[in-house]
Chain A
Amino acid sequence: MPKIFSFFTYLLRTSIKASLSRRGAFLVESALMIANNLIFLAFWWIFFREFRDVAGWNFHEMVILMIIVTGGSGLMQICFGGIRNLSVMIQSGDLDPFMTQPKNLLLHVAGSKSLSKGWGHLMTAVTLLILEKVTSFHTLSLILIGIISASLVFLSINIIAHSLPFWLGSVEGLSKKYCDTLFLFALYPTHIYSGVLQIIMFTLIPAGIISYLPVELVSRFSWYHLFLQLLSSFAFLFLAIVVFYSGLKRYESGNKFGTRL
């Protein structure tokens, strides 16, 4: 375990350095991501000016939700950005150079790239935290737990969605749409849904686990909610690992010559 951790730390450091090396592109991408998030925040501001509250939530809860979702997504993209290429790698046989190395394959692929836009998401979360004047240690800790838990669910769904080509072939577009939609729906108050839709929102599109549970935890702390949140995040991660390695058995090598430094 310490070996894996040490390997991932080195990998992450290299990936982050690589993403920072293109300074111009890094700044533009981060700035655009902040703008993108602010557009959504503006939408909710307009919305709550009209409706005041939605199922007990007001603009304050939406800001906390945005902090957790953008922070979680940002953390995932910075630490595990390579997972977004998994579907293309499976299709083009690019997993070969990774498989020849005596390292944890999934971790290696996921950590092989750090996405600059992740910093934009993370900066949005920090900016909103400052604007929301969150200073209590208790609240900050819960938000941090929420962000880490959200990033695990984002990672899990990305692994599952980008593993689909193992079974379905050329469905990279679908995988990407699925993950992007999860981010979009996580920015909604998911408890407004009922029945089948609510089940979908906690399973097929687990936006509720990413956003609803952590916000509820911050607003109305309970050990039960905390347990539920951590359990569901790790359950999704476990499921994702199982899906990836089951799919890997179906992987057809591209017989590609390549090096991975």
Chain B
Amino acid sequence: MQKYLSIFRISFIHALKNYKAFIGLSIFLIACLLIFAHLWKIAAVRKGMIYFEPSHLLWYIAFNEWILLAIPDTHDDMERDLRSGTLAYLLPRPISYLGSVFAEASGTLCVNLIVLGLVAFLFTWLQIGSLPFHPVGLLVSLFFGLIAGIVGMIFRMLIGISAFWLHTVDPFFWIWEKLLFMLGGLMLPLTAYPQWMQRIAHLTPFPSILGERSALVIDFNLHHILTLASSLLIWGILGLALLIWLYKRGLRILNVEGG
């Protein structure tokens, strides 16, 4: 465990020192926030499809964007390790490859969550001028933000592991991202979709990573918390199990065909 904590710490410090990337990411976050807020305003509010007040809308989008941009691009790093053959050199180390990637990504995720969280919070607060939530609700939302970030990260690792079979993992990532945008409630509220699509969306991890989790900060109640917690827990465990299984299968390829 100590080894993983050390990797986490190094990654945390490394990410923290890369302040120039944060300046870029923050500008990007604000631009995305404004663009999505505008899109929602004209497309959804006029049809009365969203149940948030206009002042709550920006908070909802800010909480979505916060997680979306904070999840590190672990799939790219894994693809590089697998494609370049670096994995063959990493395997003999007395540490699990998956574990080290997870610890490293968690370090980056935590720094991203802190910095981008502050930027998103301050910008939205300045824009709206009020807080729509109870302090306890905010704390719970922050906690679920971290959990959703970890679940999102696990799925990114799953995309990365597909490099064992594919030359580039980008197409999988794009599909994942598009589904996350659509079914997660980023592009439009889920209520704008037909019933059958809403049902499908709730059978996926997307709403709990984005929309449902962000809605918690505005609509804070015990039933919502329990539903979200169980959904994130189930998807986290499922994703992790699938990741380990695919990794083992991938290693078999590596053993047969070499790194």
Query: B72 an interface residue at 8 Å Cβ cutoff?
Result: yes
Is there an interface contact between A50 and B28, defined as CB atoms closer than 8 Å?
no
Q: What is the minimal beta-carbon distance from A50 to any residue of chain B, in angstroms?
A: 6
Chain B residues within an 8 Å CB radius of A28: 166, 171
B residues 166-193 near A (Cβ < 8 Å) are 166-168, 170-172, 174-175, 177-179, 181-182, 187-188, 192-193
Partner of A51, one of B43, B170, B179, B197: B43
A residues 38-83 near B (Cβ < 8 Å) are 39-40, 43, 46-47, 50-51, 54
Mark B52-82 against chain A: 1 for CB-CB distance below 8 A, else 0.
0000000000000000010011001000000
Query: A228 an interface residue at 8 Å Cβ cutoff?
Result: no
Mark A166-201 against chain B: 1 for CB-CB distance below 8 A, else 0.
001111011011101100110010001100110011
Is there an interface contact between B24 and A171, defined as CB atoms closer than 8 Å?
yes
Is there an interface contact between A35 and B175, defined as CB atoms closer than 8 Å?
yes
Known: A22-B167, A29-B166, A197-B38. A54 touches B43 (CB 8 A): yes
Is there an interface contact between A192 and B166, defined as CB atoms closer than 8 Å?
no
Is there an interface contact between A40 and B171, defined as CB atoms closer than 8 Å?
no
> Whole-angstrom distance between the alpha carbons of A177 and B21 in the complex?
12
Partner of B166, one of A25, A35, A168, A184: A25
Known: A50-B47, A54-B43. A169 touches B187 (CB 8 A): no
Query: A231 an interface residue at 8 Å Cβ cutoff?
Result: no
Known: A168-B24, A171-B20, A174-B28. A33 touches B171 (CB 8 A): yes
Query: A9 an interface residue at 8 Å Cβ cutoff?
Result: no
Q: What is the minimal beta-carbon distance from A47 to any residue of chain B, in angstroms?
A: 7
Q: Which of B20, B69, B171 has the most chain A CB atoms inside 10 A of its CB?
A: B171
Q: Which segment, of A115-123, A132-140, A232-240, A247-255, faces chain B? A: A115-123
> Whole-angstrom distance between the alpha carbons of A184 and B32 in the complex?
11
Chain B residues within an 8 Å CB radius of A180: 174, 177
A residues 125-155 near B (Cβ < 8 Å) are none
Mark A198-231 against chain B: 1 for CB-CB distance below 8 A, else 0.
0011001100000000000000000000000000
Q: What is the minimal beta-carbon distance from A58 to any residue of chain B, in angstroms?
A: 14
Is there an interface contact between A181 and B175, defined as CB atoms closer than 8 Å?
no
List of 9 A-B pairs having minimum Cβ-Cβ separation, nearest first? A32-B171, A25-B167, A168-B20, A174-B24, A36-B174, A171-B21, A39-B178, A36-B175, A173-B73
Which A residues are within 8 Å of any B CB, using their own CB?
A: 22, 25-26, 28-29, 32-33, 35-36, 39-40, 43, 46-47, 50-51, 54, 115-117, 120, 164, 168-171, 173-174, 176-178, 180-181, 184-185, 188, 192-193, 196-197, 200-201, 204-205
Give 8 A-B pairs besides A25-B166, A164-B24 with Cβ atoms closer than 8 angstroms. Answer: A29-B168, A39-B175, A43-B182, A46-B192, A54-B42, A115-B168, A168-B21, A204-B31
22 sample A-B contacts, Cβ–Cβ < 8 Å, listed by A number = A25-B167, A28-B171, A33-B171, A39-B182, A43-B182, A46-B194, A47-B43, A50-B47, A54-B43, A115-B168, A117-B170, A168-B20, A171-B20, A171-B24, A173-B72, A173-B73, A178-B24, A181-B28, A192-B38, A192-B39, A193-B38, A197-B35
